[in-house]
Amino acid sequence: MLRIPNEIYHAILNHAEACAPEEACGLLAADAAGSLRMVYCLTNVQHSTVAYTIDPEEHYKAMRHAEANGWHLAGAFHSHPDAEPYPSATDRALAMEPDWVYVITGRARMMRAYRLDGGSVVEVPLEA
């Protein structure tokens, strides 16, 4: 179960809407117990409607901020502006962190979360 605090949940959805029709993206930080503490709404340097790459400098700054607060990066999020919130083949192939949770937003402000490891997809129930 992934519990997403209300402010993080809405920040993800609002970032997705602000970036549309391009894919939005960002990172999630958690404390040692695994509770989400921060969302980092970042730049998709691809400026694409079907793919994303997080700006490397922003990624680094988010990591440093999380570490400075005693947190760790625990996941990523991105949007599928015109599709269902399910990992694409590209999402599965590029998922490099098997311990991370990957949150995807889709049409009609739908949000789902997954663990992606070696191409496998396991849905993580969300509680917002």
Query: Does the residue 112 lie in any domain?
Result: yes
What percent of the chain has a predicted confidence (pLDDT) above 90? 91
Instruction: State residue 128's pLDDT score.
Output: 86
The answer to whether residue 57 is catalytic is: no
pLDDT of 11 > 90? The answer is: yes
Instruction: Assign residue 55 the CATH number of its domain.
Output: 3.40.140.10
Instruction: State residue 30's pLDDT score.
Output: 98
Please write down the HEC assignment for all residues of the chain: CEECCHHHHHHHHHHHHHHCCCCCEEEEEECCCCCEEEEEEECECCCCCCCCCECHHHHHHHHHHHHHCCCEEEEEEEECCCCCCCCCHHHHHHCCCCCCEEEEECHHHCEEEEEEECCEEEEECEEC
Instruction: State residue 82's pLDDT score.
Output: 92
Count structural domains, the chain. 1
Query: Does the residue 128 lie in any domain?
Result: no
Query: Does the residue 33 lie in any domain?
Result: yes
Confidence of residue 36 (pLDDT cuts 50, 70, 90): very high
Enclosing domain of residue 46: 2-123
Query: Does the residue 26 lie in any domain?
Result: yes
Q: What is the mean pLDDT of residues 14-35?
A: 97
Q: Write down the catalytic residue from 7, 22, 23, 97.
A: 23
Q: What is the mean pLDDT of residues 65-90?
A: 96
